[in-house]
């Protein structure tokens, strides 16, 4: 019953919150309108990212990497209402399958979205998967960030943000960058630095 109700309810609440908020979009003009790329955002800032992606692609062509856990199933179904596809798996289950699926999507012209610190943390960490995907496909990474003037912050590992109605929200898609020629740890350090830049 929860799987039948919660995703649609979450989708409706998210759209209502987004409608009520005062939005500011900052989207890099360097993001390609044609070529595919890897979207990276923190797990705790997930909620409004579909609206930021729509500023780049009016017609979505993205697959979001989501865990096989129960909460992942709810998120996957909720994302489906936005017209996004999903790739299911995690570092402990189905990792090889989801990585290969992500590579196929990128090489086929689709975008991929990944939370480097998901699905279970640690908070604001960068796992190896995003490096492997970007370097294997030679696709750039575009960091998405969400900054909230007023928000509820859950006491979960990811410190999940829910914006308060009618508050100010800034959604940023930063300049693309690539990882060519970098070792694993060097690449992860660069990704972390790009993802922790403050608001303009």
Lowest pLDDT segment from 39-53, 71-85, 134-148, 158-172? 71-85
pLDDT band for position 46 (50/70/90)? very high
Q: What is the pLDDT of residues 119-171, one digit of tens each?
A: 888 999 999 999 999 999 999 999 999 999 999 999 999 999 999 999 999 99
Lowest pLDDT segment from 30-44, 55-69, 160-174? 55-69
Q: What radius of gyration do the chain's Cα atoms show?
A: 16
Q: Is the pLDDT of residue 91 over 60?
A: no
Q: Is the pLDDT of residue 20 over 60?
A: yes
**CA distance readout (Å), 64 to 75, 131, 136, 185, 192:** 10, 16, 18, 24, 20
Residue labelled with tokens 């997930």: 46
**Structural contact between residues 28 and 173, judged by C-beta atoms closer than 8 angstroms:** yes
- Between CA 150 and CA 165 the distance in angstroms is 9
Lowest pLDDT segment from 68-77, 86-95, 180-189, 190-199? 86-95
Q: What percent of the chain has pLDDT over 70?
A: 96
Spell out the domain ranges in the chain.
2-195
Which one has a higher pLDDT value, 93 or 54? 54
Handedness of CA 22, 197, 181, 125 (dihedral sign): negative
**CA distance readout (Å), 176 to 38, 113, 160:** 9, 14, 25
């Amino acid at each position: 019953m929860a799987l039948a109700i919660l995703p649609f309810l979450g989708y409706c609440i998210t759209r209502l919150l987004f409608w009520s908020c005062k939005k500011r979009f900052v989207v890099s003009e360097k993001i390609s309108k044609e070529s595919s790329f890897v979207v990276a955002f923190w797990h705790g800032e997930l909620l409004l990212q579909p609206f930021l992606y729509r500023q780049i692609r009016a017609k979505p062509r993205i697959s979001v990497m989501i865990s096989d856990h129960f909460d992942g199933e709810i998120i996957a179904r909720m994302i489906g209402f936005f017209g996004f596809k999903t790739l299911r798996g995690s570092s402990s289950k189905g990792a090889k399958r989801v990585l290969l699926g992500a590579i196929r999507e990128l090489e086929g012209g689709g975008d991929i979205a990944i939370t480097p610190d998901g699905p279970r943390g640690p908070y604001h960490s960068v796992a190896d998967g995003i490096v492997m995907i970007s370097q294997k496909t030679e696709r750039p990474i575009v960091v998405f960030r969400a900054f909230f003037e007023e928000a509820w912050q859950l006491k979960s590992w990811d410190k999940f943000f829910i914006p308060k109605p009618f508050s100010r929200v800034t959604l940023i898609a930063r300049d693309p960058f690539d990882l060519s020629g970098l070792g694993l740890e060097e690449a992860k350090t660069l990704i972390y630095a790009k993802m922790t830049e403050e608001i303009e």
